[in-house]
Amino acid sequence: MKCARCLLQLQGLRLQGLRLQGLQLPGLQLQGLQGQSARSAAQHGALLQSSSQPHMLRNTQHQVIRRFHRSPINDKNQPVPAEFIDEDDNKKDKSLVIHDDLFEQVARETKTKATFNKVVEVFIKQDVRRRGHVEFIYAALQKMPEFGVERDLAVYNKLLDVFPKEVFVPRNFIQIMFNHYPRQQECGVQLLEQMECYGIMPNVDTKVLLIQIFGVKGHPVRKYQRILYWFPKFKHTNPYPVPKNLPEDPVDLARLSLARIADDRDAKVTVYQLACTDITESGEEITLPHVVGIQSPSQMELLAQHNPSRPVFVEGPFPLWLRDKCVYYYVLRADPVPPEEKVEEPYDPERSLAYPLQLDLDLDRDLGDEESFDVEDLDEGEVFAMCMTSQGDQAVLNQWVSGLQQNNPILGRVPTLFRLEQGPRELQGAHKTKSDHQHRPDPQTQREEEEEEVSVEEEPRRSQGMKP
Amino acid sequence: MSLPKLARLPSARLLTSVLPHHQLLLPPLSPLTIPCRTKIQQDYRRPGQPREKRYPYNFNFSKGIEGIKKHFTLLKDEFFGRWVGPEGKPLIEHLLEQNLVIWEFRGPESLKQWTVSSDQEIGGQSEAHLKMGRNDITCFLHGKLNCTVPRDGETRYSGYCSMRSKIPKASFDRKKHYDWSSFNTLHLRVRGDGRPWMINIATETYFSHQKDDIYNYFLYTRGGPYWQEVKIPFSKFFLSHRGRIQDNQHPIWLDKVNTIGFTLGDKAEGAFQLEVDFVGVCKDYAHTEEFAYEMYERNPKD
């Protein structure tokens, strides 16, 4: 005798077959039914009949068809055995019906939080015993990034809700000792570990759920307690925090990152050009990139004191990482001054009237009071300004330098050389021959181009490289 | 030889990019679920790789002579250094010094004290290289992180790289330790690209199960063209074992420090770089904290 469940399978297939053919059999009278099973099957059949639209086959009343005596290790990817199909009408489609992954089915539609929640609800409602919940949760954890819900605490709580409550709570000390329901505990721990991975702090709902499911003495609750201890300790350890939601607009992003690397609160950000598209006379579209620069007053002073006979270099692009986003910036800098040319200006006593800046006393510090390290100071040349732009070619950087010139007139007299490299910059040790020289055309300088290039090449290449 | 061992020992990763056995925030598993590597372990052997053969040895005469010269010179220095003072420095310096530069990168020979490793040891695809920086004054660690997980069935996270110092050696390859008991702050000058790194300090342990005990703390770089001075007091370092932060915390014991390392594992795919100018320790009289984390019992019996 066929049990009710097998008959349900038949009905489902039949209805599917009918759907394919666009027919509707009147009255789902089942063959070989007896007694009470007829009633339940008829009820189910009625429900199935009432759901006339095709997609409602997956409604809340739908039972995932699976074998009765086998534990459903995968309620996904289980082909229905052919014998059941062959018993149907020969006119129907004879292909194997494969039950896809519930998540894969959603892939055809849009993947959002709502659909993810719907899938979880389907799973919860279809079986009160939640057969196969461990595999379902693992699959859900894996699919979360595709649906975009990996940073959503409510979704994790909903997923925790899939676990049956109070079944896995140990009831005596032996059960506690021996890792009661280890697979489920491992699954719970894995869920919390994914939350930890994305930096999501669990809340009191998570705690209540975990205690209901696993009891107070299990591994998941211990892990939750650890998260609650260590996360607040490490939350504010970053002295240069990056905001969680980075600005979308590239100009705002450039402002943020330039203010970050300038290390000076007095530095001023100037937007020299906003991104726009121009149409020239010939009808071509030219996109102009945005150019954002930064310079602080101390940098302006240093630039004003710079010796005009020495060139300044525009170097770049250098990478800067903000969380998982990499932006590039360019630097205007000069080579370090050789020691023989260094001029030590005497301290102006009027700069500080409260105390003298320079003392001529003959006091020495004791060994125990030596507060500086015995390391030579790095002299790598000063940085005069930084800028960020989406397109780092010479024309755009020329624009930047001419924009800088308005505030720093010395740039008109100083030769500017460009050391640009395509792609992310590493140390130039291996790329010594690739530096690109170009003299910036400036009507005010008297020097000739060849002279400049020769004099530059004669200088020892001490300070090649990416960063000043 | 302990040097090759060190090269293959995976240094502690960040809290999240770890192998499955090394579960952060998880206590030792109960007896039924413990993996079979309970006995004392040597280096990490990637599953599937053949065990290395130790013989036949290669005998080389000139190398032998050089080795004898080197070791005997070291032995002589140690012997006569004793007459000068502890660790070869005058006693007054040893007692009163406030700052000590441990590693500085002046010249390519300084790179030999460091080992670079990446997740290629577990089958990942990140790369990491170490070379001298501009003017041979700083060291430059650069490379590329790749977060694709190697498909060996047991690894869950990937994408890390690290730079670790080698254990200092006395004559005849005996292990020597750093004694930083008179200092309380780690001071570095670095220039990164904005990525968060982690500093790992490994000390000498007694029991073999403590072999992978490492004390960690974060190194946040600002990025940009300016150098960054970082001061981390030793009281902030927390204990972790195999990349998993431990429940029972205690402050780091500074009298036998073996290695220091820098690790990157921030799950952002792409190129990275870090320049280090020097690493030193100093005594900050203004810092009075003994330990930053609580030491009460975490898993009470009741």
Query: Is the pLDDT assigned to residue B160 strictly greater than 70?
Result: yes
CA dist A458 and B212 (Å) reads 53
Q: Which of A238, A367, A370 sits opposite B92 (nearest CB)?
A: A367
Q: Are strands A416-420 and A312-322 parallel, antiparallel or unpaired?
A: parallel
A52-56, A280-284, A357-361, B251-255 — most confident range: B251-255
Chain B: residue nearest A238 by CA? B220
User: Does the beta-carbon distance from A367 to B25 stay under 8 Å?
Assistant: no
Query: pLDDT band for position A348 (50/70/90)?
Result: confident
CA dist A44 and A10 (Å) reads 12
Task: Provide the 10 A C-beta neighbour count for residue A354.
Answer: 4
pLDDT digits (tens, 9 = 90+) for B228-240: 999 999 999 999 9
Closest CA to B165 of B258, B53, B277: B258
Lowest mean pLDDT among A2-6, A42-46, A74-78: A42-46
Which of B32, B106, B129, B135 should one mutate to test binding to chain A, selecting the residue with the greatest count of A CBs within 10 A?
B135
Region B8-34 average pLDDT = 40
Task: Provide the 10 A C-beta neighbour count for residue B100.
Answer: 19
Query: Is the pLDDT assigned to residue A232 strictly greater than 90?
Result: yes
Query: Is the pLDDT assigned to residue A50 strictly greater than 90?
Result: no
Q: Residue A126 — φ and ψ, nearest 5°?
A: -80, -20
Query: pLDDT band for position A6 (50/70/90)?
Result: very low
Query: ∠ at Cα B130 (B126, B134), nearest 5°?
Result: 130
Report CA B178 to chain centroid distance, whole Å.
13
Chain B: residue nearest A333 by CA? B225
From the CA of B172, how many Å to the nearest CA of chain A?
Answer: 30
| Neighbour-count burial of B299, counting CB atoms closer than 10 A to its CB (0-12 exposed, 13-18 middle, 19+ buried) | exposed
Which of B95, B96, B193, B241 should one mutate to test binding to chain A, selecting the residue with the greatest count of A CBs within 10 A?
B193
Q: Is the distance from CB of A347 to CB of A395 less than 8 angstroms?
A: no
- B-chain residues within 8 Å CB-CB of A323? 268
pLDDT digits (tens, 9 = 90+) for B130-148: 999 888 888 999 999 999 9
ipTM score assigned to the predicted complex:
0.81
Share the mean pLDDT of chain A.
73
User: Does the beta-carbon distance from A370 to B268 stay under 8 Å?
Assistant: no
DSSP B229: E
User: Does the beta-carbon distance from B267 to A324 stay under 8 Å?
Assistant: yes
Q: Is the distance from CB of A327 to CB of A289 less than 8 angstroms?
A: no
Letter for the amino acid at B158?
A: S
Q: Residue A464 — φ and ψ, nearest 5°?
A: -85, 150
User: Does the beta-carbon distance from A372 to B15 stay under 8 Å?
Assistant: no
CA distances from B60 to A396, B1, B56, B64, B67 (A): 60, 16, 13, 6, 11
More confident residue, B91 or A194: A194
Task: Take residue B187 and report the two structure tokens written for it.
Answer: 């001071």
Say what the pTM is. 0.73
- A-chain residues within 8 Å CB-CB of B15? 196
Query: Is the pLDDT assigned to residue A144 strictly greater than 70?
Result: yes
pLDDT for the residue B165: 94
Q: Are strands A312-322 and A325-334 parallel, antiparallel or unpaired?
A: antiparallel
Q: Is the distance from CB of B264 to CB of B162 less than 8 angstroms?
A: yes
Q: Which of A239, A374, A424 sits opposite B99 (nearest CB)?
A: A374
CB crowding A91-103: b at 16 or more within 10 Å, else e: eeeeeebebebbb
CA dist A148 and A112 (Å) reads 7
pLDDT for the residue A107: 63
Query: Is the pLDDT assigned to residue B84 strictly greater than 80?
Result: yes
Query: Tokens 């010479």 belong to which residue?
Result: A394
Q: Is the distance from CB of A253 to CB of A247 less than 8 angstroms?
A: yes
Q: Which of A239, A368, A426 sits opposite B273 (nearest CB)?
A: A426
- Check if A219 contacts B (Cβ < 8 Å): yes
CA dist B13 and B22 (Å) reads 10
CA dist A149 and A140 (Å) reads 10
Q: Residue B252 — φ and ψ, nearest 5°?
A: -70, 140
From the CA of A412, how many Å to the nearest CA of chain B?
Answer: 24
Query: pLDDT band for position B24 (50/70/90)?
Result: very low
Share the mean pLDDT of chain B.
83
pLDDT for the residue A34: 41
Q: Is the distance from CB of B273 to CB of B195 less than 8 angstroms?
A: no
| Neighbour-count burial of B275, counting CB atoms closer than 10 A to its CB (0-12 exposed, 13-18 middle, 19+ buried) | buried
| Alpha helices in A127-218, H assignment, sequence order | 133-147, 153-160, 173-177, 182-197, 204-214
Q: Are strands B238-241 and B213-220 parallel, antiparallel or unpaired?
A: antiparallel
- Got the DSSP string for A228-243? HHHHHHHHT--SS---
Q: Which of B15, B32, B225 sits opposite A468 (nearest CB)?
A: B225
Query: Is the pLDDT assigned to residue B22 strictly greater than 70?
Result: no
Helical packing angle, A204-214 and A182-197, nearest 10°: 170
Task: Take residue A318 and report the two structure tokens written for it.
Answer: 């250098």
CA distances from A101 to A62, A75, A107, A163 (A): 15, 8, 10, 19
A92-101, A104-113, A270-279, B34-43 — most confident range: A270-279
Chain A: residue nearest B96 by CA? A368
Q: What is the dihedral of CA B11, B16, B17, B21, to 10 degrees?
A: 80
Task: Take residue A52 and report the two structure tokens written for it.
Answer: 């006339």
Task: Take residue B24 and report the two structure tokens written for it.
Answer: 């952060």
Q: Residue A104 — φ and ψ, nearest 5°?
A: -65, -30
Q: Is the distance from CB of B262 to CB of B162 less than 8 angstroms?
A: yes
Query: pLDDT band for position A422 (50/70/90)?
Result: low
A226-240, A305-319, A424-438 — most confident range: A226-240
Lowest mean pLDDT among A177-186, A374-383, A436-445: A436-445
CA dist B136 and B128 (Å) reads 19
- A-chain residues within 8 Å CB-CB of B293? 233
CA dist A83 and A17 (Å) reads 15
Instruction: Identify the three-state secondary structure at position A300.
Output: helix
